[in-house]
Each structure stands twice: as structure tokens, then as C-alpha cells.
Amino acid sequence: MTIPFVDLRAQYERYRDELDAAMANVMAETAFISGKHAAAFEQAFAKYAQRDHAIACANGTDSLEVLLDCLGLEAGDEVIVPALSWISTSEVVGTRGAKPVFVDIDASYTLDPAALEAAITERTVGVIPVHLYGRPANMPAIMAVAETHELWVLEDCAQAHGAEWNGQRIATFGDCASFSFYPGKNLGAYGDAGGMVTNDDAIARVARMICNHGQPQKHQHMMEGRNSRMDGLQAAVLNVKLQYIETWTEERRQVANWYRELLPGSGVELPVEDGNHRVVYHLFVVQCDNRNGLRDHLKAHGISTGIHYPTPLPLMPCYAAFGLSAADFPVAARACDRMLSLPIYPEMTRDMVAHVAEHIRSFHAG
Ligand SMILES: *Cc1c(COP(=O)(O)O)cnc(C)c1O
């Protein structure tokens, strides 16, 4: 049995007729940029995210960057970000001329609220919590710290469409939130795409303007903006897929439950499960001492895995000037050496999960 890490083809085959029809429609209408499909998606996604406004854009890095501009980020400001994430979370701060200040994660792989409080300085203006791997960050604790210190909060929801902390949807806690619809994300387009949500009318208005060259109306450039629009093909694909995101989320959660049932005693540590949270399992990340050995063993048995991520962000070459070391982020650094992402996607069957579990067991037995 060969088990890929993700299987986007399986999902395409499952909805092929609907997706092909939606894409053919866009081409027949030549509705290539923004337009009615993107507008329909914005409306549907705002409803899904339980926010007043959704603004579609070109990708999930742009959505973070545009929101930072809406929040008034200036050169020299400090923004607190977790030490473990995809580079987008910190690079958008640096490319705006501000400074990303990294803090460690806790056992949930998300930003440690205590470390957040300790990292605040005179220059701190905001925080970007990341709901990593589909697990919600501790938003009540993060919001409490942010309110005390009058910081804005931008939620990076790229890996967590539909996740909930104690019954409350992510993206409804902070001032605004950013989503990615990169093909491999829980809700993925067939190319790059991203989106922003907020209840703040001013943020929504400015974000929309920035993404379309600062023009609320054609040839009325109120400010210098940029070109970051969602294209019609991506919007049409997302309009089809948004109808199924809840089904897929439950299927992912089922796969995770099978792992939780079949992995105990196999020699790996499972992701923590605590509180009444809806984890949407973008990734299912386990830990063990000989991670690389396990990875090779699984590969030899046709099972593909991933490492998310091999290096904490502050230890990347681009941040060498900060002079930080693994000792500054003990939880993230230890996790980076030990983590392995197992295959997880909605179309996985219990047999496939059992196959993965069996070979993890055989590695540790042998
Ligand atoms: C994927 C991702 C992004 C960026 O999204 P793109 O659409 O690839 O630009 C940002 N943050 C996190 C945590 C991500 O996983």
C-alpha cells in the first residue's frame, strides 16, 4: 500500500464534475480577475467565518501583509510572533520595516501566552498568534494580555479553517484574521489565493482598497495600493469547495481519532488533546527521539511524511543578525528535532491509518 502525504487528486476526482463545470463557466464568461465569483466567495466566506467582512486576495502572505498596513504598522514597531510557524508569519513584519519578536510555543504547538507577556516592550504594537496545524491558539489568554497592553491582534488562520476554542470560532477573537487558500490547506484553491476577515468596517474598507491599487472606484486612486486580487478561477473553485469544508473537517477529525485509537504503544507521542476545542487537523504531528529514522522506515514502506518545521523561525539564516539560539526557544527547538507529520486528508480510510500505525509500531519494535 502506498500512502501519499496529501492526495489532492483524490479530492478532485470526488468532485470533478462540479469543479470542471465551475471552471469552464469562468472561461466562458472570461471572468478572470475579481468579479462576481470572487464577490460571491467573499459573501459566503464571511458567513462561514462569522464575520461582517471578507476580502479575497491573491494569497495568504499578502493577506497578512495588507492587514498589517491596515493596522498602521510602522518601521521600528515590534510585533510578537510564535517561534514555530511558516515563514510568512514573521516575514511580513520584517518586509514592512518592523521587527518580528519571537516567543516560544507551549505543548499545544501554539504561542505560549506567558512568553507573550514577557516579550512586550515599549515598542510592541501587536501580536500574530498562529493556529498551527489546525489547533486553535489560546485566544482568551492572548486577548487578555493584548487588552492589558493595548496591542492589536491579527490571527493567522492559514492552517485552521473552522477551528474553535471552546465553541468559539477562530478569526472571531482578534481585530482581524488572515486565511490562505493554498492548494494544500484545509480549504484550497487550484493555485494561490488568500482572504481576510474582520468586523472592523475601516479595516475592511482599506484592505479592499489596498488590494486593488487604492481605487474604491475605477481610476479613483485614493492611495497607493498594490495588485492582490483573487482570480476568477480560484474563486469559482473555492465556491464549490466551501460547500464541503465542514464534511472534510469532520473527515479529518475522524482520521485523527483513528490515529489516536491505533497509535498508543507504538513509540510516538501524540498531539495534546485538552479542553473542548475543535482541532481541524491540517496536520497530524507526532514526536519521537529518532524522527529521521522513523521517517526513512516509513518511506521504505511507501508512506510519505513531512516535517513542519525542521527549524524554528528565529534560527533561520534570515534572522541570524538577531543572534538568537535554540536555548531561547526550548520548546520549539526540541519539537523541531522530534516532530513528524503523518499523512492526513479527508479521503484517508481506517485501513490506511492502520497501515501507517503498523509500520510505526514495527519501527519501534525492530
Ligand atoms: C500557508 C501559510 C501562510 C501563507 O499562505 P500562502 O497562501 O502560501 O501565502 C501563512 N501562515 C501560515 C501559518 C501558513 O501555513
Q: Please give the grid coordinates belonging to residue 66.
A: 495588507
Position in ligand 1 atom list of the atom nearest CA 89 = 11
Ligand 1 centroid to 195 CA: how many Å? Answer: 11
Instruction: Give, in order, the Cα–Cα distances in Å from 248 to each of 31, 207, 270, 348.
Output: 28, 30, 21, 11
| CB 82 near ligand 1, within 6 Å | no
| Polymer length in residues for the chain | 366
CA geometry: angle at 31 spanning 27 and 37, to 5°? 110
Cα 353 to ligand 1 centre (Å):
27
Q: Which helix (H) or strand (E) holds 78?
A: strand 78-82
d(CA 264, CA 258): 11
What was the pLDDT predicted at 187? 98
pLDDT of residue 34: 83
Q: What is the per-residue DSSP string for 173-205?
A: SSSEEEEE--TTSSS--SS--EEEEES-HHHHH
| 188 ligand 1 Cβ < 6 A | no
| 265 CA distance to ligand 1 middle (Å) | 34
* Rounded Cα–Cα distance for residues 248 and 250 (Å): 5
What does the pLDDT read at residue 97? 96
What residue's CA is closest to ligand 1, atom 6? Answer: 60
Question: For the chain, which residues score pLDDT lower than 70?
Answer: none
Q: How far is the CA of 306 from the centre of ligand 1 (A)?
A: 16
Query: What is the CA(161)–ligand 1 centre distance, in A?
Result: 12
Ligand 1 near 86 CB (within 6 A):
yes
Check residue 329 and give its pLDDT. Answer: 98
Q: Would you state the cell numbers that stand for residue 287, as one nine-digit string? A: 514526536
Gap between the Cα atoms of 244 and 137, Å rounded: 24
CB of 159 closer than 6 angstroms to any ligand 1 atom? yes
Check if 11 has its Cβ closer than 6 Å to any atom of ligand 1: no
Q: Is 206 in the pocket of ligand 1 (CB under 6 A)?
A: no
Q: CB-based contacts of 154: which residues, under 8 Å, 6+ apart?
A: 64, 67, 68, 71, 126, 127, 128, 174, 175, 176, 177, 178
Ligand 1 atom showing the smallest separation from residue 59 Cα: 7
pTM exceeds 0.85, yes or no: yes
Instruction: Please tell me the distance between residue 228's alpha carbon and the centre of ligand 1 in angstroms.
Output: 15
How far away, in angstroms, is 6 Cα from ligand 1 center?
A: 17
Q: Which atom of ligand 1 is nearest to the CA of 85?
A: 13
